Amino acid sequence: MGQVKIFGSVETLELYRREISDAVHPALVSAFDYPGEKRFQRFFPLPGEDFLHPADRTKDYLVIEVILFPGRSVEAKKAFYRLVLANLESSTTIPSADVEIVLIESSRENWLIRGMPGDELKLNYRVEV
């Protein structure tokens, strides 16, 4: 399972929402062997006064949080990071230094999905990659 939250300025998310979505999702599919049809993303466009960050970040600063089941290897996680950055670089002007990604692993018993506890759910994809 993977739930994605994308935080950024109102202006950046309005300008690049589709490109950011299309940068993150294929990276999940490729690096984590995640099913292509499972795109779970939420965007949080924030006005400047609600999105404080260090002065060395630009107006395009993004925070991408992915909540997922444990099981991905360090190599898969690093591949995900590289793919997101490469995808963003090819479709936006967002600098890599302005992208922060946080992977938050939450055990399957901590999820309720389609009315079932996550540890009882039969998945049609592998988590251990």
DSSP β-bridge partners for residue 100: 63
- Going by the DSSP 8-state scheme, the letter that residue 65 receives in this structure is E
pLDDT of residue 111 exceeding 90: no
pLDDT, one tens digit per residue, over 41-87 is: 999 999 999 999 999 999 999 999 999 999 999 999 999 999 999 99
DSSP β-bridge partners for residue 65: 5, 102
**Residues constituting the chain:** 129
Copy the structure tokens of residue 121: 């759910």
CATH topology for 2-120?
Macrophage Migration Inhibitory Factor (3.30.429)
Cβ proximity of 32 and 101 under 8 Å: no
**Which residue is it, tokens 């002065």?**
55
- Alpha-carbon dihedral sign for residues 90, 92, 97, 100: negative
The mean pLDDT value for 105-112 works out to 90
Where do the domains of the chain lie? 2-120
Q: pTM for this structure? A: 0.92
pLDDT of residue 89 exceeding 90: yes
